[in-house]
Amino acid sequence: MKSLVSLALAGFVAAGAPAAVAGERYVQRPPVVLSPDLSAPWVMQLGGNAAPRGGVVYQQPQRVKRTQAAYQIRPTRRDGVVLPSQVRRPAPAAYAAPKPQAKQQATPQIDPRYLPQDVAYDSQEKPGTIIIDTNTRHLYFVLGNGKARRYGVGVGKPGFEWAGTHKITQKREWPSWTPPKEMIERVRLNEGRILPTHMEGGPANPLGARAMYLGSTLYRIHGTNQPWTIGQAVSSGCIRMRNEDVMDLYERAEVGAKVIVS
């Protein structure tokens, strides 16, 4: 067997065949490509920017975020004068909306001491009697058993104070107002305002939501369209209350009730 192989090989060489080995049958050897281990640390560090393609890992180019740069306006001539260069920068994309300012109260608030409350009050008067202390600006509705319902009131301004005892002769809801002629003239001369000769009842009426008339006088216990004046001496002699307070008193007091003003 060995002799036969030797003879064949000797014949092949003798025939002029090339003496190249198997590894030399290519003119240029192909490149050796190594498929990386995707779990290797250096591959893992590439993150999402690396992806195997054909056994080779390629690094993806990173996008560079472009920002709008400032631009420069070239000097221009105006009336033969060269203006200096100006640099403008782009305005911000959006501005924060200014915070709305808190609304200021249109009118002052009433002093808490003039808000209605039940208080201890010793009096010899029977329940249902109304006692008005013009000095402290309080009205007391006697409840009995040493207690009274107390309200804040506005009283007559200087020159219009008065004191006395009367009875409630009538009660009106949303009363109309007919100012006396002397009041119309006085306000016109002293304040420059022209009062109406008559005004129907309503929220704008100075007598407010309720009125209780005292005897045969022009004085009343009534509401007001100016609640911030409670606790002050501002009226022409009437006793004014907040509308919500005079409505509460209106339900408690009866026609014929005694009213003491001191």
Give me 216's structure tokens.
Answer: 């045969």
User: Look-up: residue for tokens 């208080």?
Assistant: 119
- Is there a catalytic annotation at residue 222? yes
Task: Render 36-94 in DSSP notation, one character per residue.
Answer: P-TTSHHHHTTGGGEEEETTEEEEPPPPPPP----EEEPP-EETTEEPPPEEE-PPPS-
Distance CA 9, CA 11 (A): 5
**Catalytically annotated residue among 138, 166, 198, 238:** 238
Distance CA 242, CA 245 (A): 5
Distance CA 132, CA 155 (A): 9
Give the pairing of strands 147-152 and 233-235.
unpaired
Give me 107's structure tokens.
Answer: 């009118």
Distance CA 16, CA 11 (A): 9
The Cα-based distances of 30 to 22, 23, 37, 58, 104 in angstroms read 15, 12, 22, 20, 86
Judge contact between 71 and 88, C-beta under 8 A. Answer: yes
The dihedrals phi and psi of 80, each to the nearest 5 degrees, come to: 80, 5
**Catalytically annotated residue among 138, 166, 198, 222:** 222
Give 104: exposed, middle or buried? Use CB within 10 Å, 0-12, 13-18, 19+: exposed
- Is there a catalytic annotation at residue 166? no
Residue positions annotated with a catalytic role: 222, 238
